[in-house]
Amino acid sequence: MPELPEVETIVRDLRPLLVGRRFVSVRQASKHRLRRAWDKAWPALLAGRTVEAISRRGKWIVLHLDDGSFLVVHLGMTGQFTVVASSTPPPDHLHLVFNLDDGVHQLRFRDIRRFGSVTRLTGQAELEEFFAASGLGPEPFDLNAKAWRQSLAGTTRPIKSVLLDQCVVAGVGNIYADEALFVAVLHPLRRGCDLTPAEADRLRKAIVKVLTTAIEKRGSSIRNYIGGSGLAGGYQEEFRVYSRKGQPCPRCGTPIAHLRLSGRSAHYCPKCQPKPRARTRISKARHEKE
């Protein structure tokens, strides 16, 4: 569920609530396993640890602990990572509880669909290896213009699929991919290698713009997303194409169209974001023959 803006909002919310706090005790609140198995030895290793910093990498939340270890958290589609009063009745689908040293709050990991995970890594080397193993790409705000153009030029995949590939750029998901393509005025089925350098630049800037605005609005709350302090986001009010099938395009009024691409929905304006023409495919085929 949560994409970069939602994860960034959670990290910013959690920072003042968690940094400097110590875990008094940690317990597993559910027998169900998450995407990555939770090691039974971890609660004992985490008890007594103080949170020194919280950061984000792509859609991952990273808790930096005082013994040099890390907790890396992924929220999958429905994960929630919040600090609440310990007296708050435990919700369903609660998986992990971290009791804090102020005696009245706890950090909770809740995940309805269990596509999320919480993993303990022993140190910097393991953390780096963890992200390297998944091939996690650069942060969208740090994209090198030349490298970005080259990674698009080197693939025949539809641009929408490229945006969802965390190895190319980290943190973009289905909502912000559709929104960025609308802002960049590019059809989701345009192939990476068919984009002109100017279009590639336009897309890179559109990603940054869309994500920046979404962070300012605390992300998008559709169903399950809440920030680290339990507060919802507001960017869903700003959607120009995502989940707006049949509604008027904010630029030209044409009904927003919808297609399925590798099992996921893509929303776009059929007039503003014209379909890739057959000619470009032929020219590409010729190019490959040469």
Partner DNA sequence: ATAGGCGCCTGCTGGC
Partner DNA sequence: TGCCAGCAGGCGCCTA
The answer to whether residue 251 is catalytic is: no
Question: Whose Cβ is closer to DNA: residue 19's or residue 112's?
Answer: 112
Say which of 3, 6, 8, 179 is annotated catalytic: 3
Window contacting DNA (CB under 7 A); options: 48-56, 166-174, 196-204, 277-285:
166-174
Q: How far is the CB of 290 from DNA (least distance, A)?
A: 19
Window contacting DNA (CB under 7 A); options: 15-23, 138-146, 173-181, 197-205:
173-181
Fill in the DSSP letter of residue 45: H
The answer to whether residue 158 is catalytic is: no
- Residue 263 near DNA by CB under 7 A: yes
- Residue 188 near DNA by CB under 7 A: no
The answer to whether residue 3 is catalytic is: yes
Segment 66 to 95, residues that bind DNA, using CB under 7 A: 74, 76-77, 92-93
Structure tokens at 89: 């009745």
Pick the binder of DNA from 22, 64, 114, 284 (CB under 7 A): 114
Q: Which residues pair with 80 in a beta bridge?
A: 110
Q: Which amino acid does the sequence have at 191?
A: R
Q: For the chain, where are the E strands, in sequence order? A: 23-28, 51-57, 60-65, 70-74, 79-85, 94-100, 105-111, 117-121, 257-261, 264-268
Question: Whose Cβ is closer to DNA: residue 119's or residue 273's?
Answer: 119
Q: CA angle, 222 as apex, 225 and 93 as ends, to 5°?
A: 40
Q: What is the rounded CA–CA span in Å between residue 196 and residue 3?
A: 27
The three-state secondary structure class of 211 is helix
Q: Which residues fall within 8 angstroms of residue 208, CB to CB, at 6 or more apart?
A: 140, 141, 143
Pick the binder of DNA from 149, 157, 204, 218 (CB under 7 A): 157
Segment 126 to 145, residues that bind DNA, using CB under 7 A: 134
Q: Which amino acid does the sequence have at 255?
A: P
Q: What is the rounded CA–CA span in Å between residue 85 and residue 125?
A: 35
The answer to whether residue 2 is catalytic is: yes
Q: What is the rounded CA–CA span in Å between residue 234 and residue 7?
A: 14
Segment 10 to 69, residues that bind DNA, using CB under 7 A: 32-33, 35, 58-59
Residues recognised as catalytic = 2-3, 59, 264
Residues contributing to the site for DNA (CB under 7 A): 1-3, 6, 32-33, 35, 58-59, 74, 76-77, 92-93, 112-115, 134, 155-158, 161, 164, 166, 173-175, 219-225, 233, 262-265
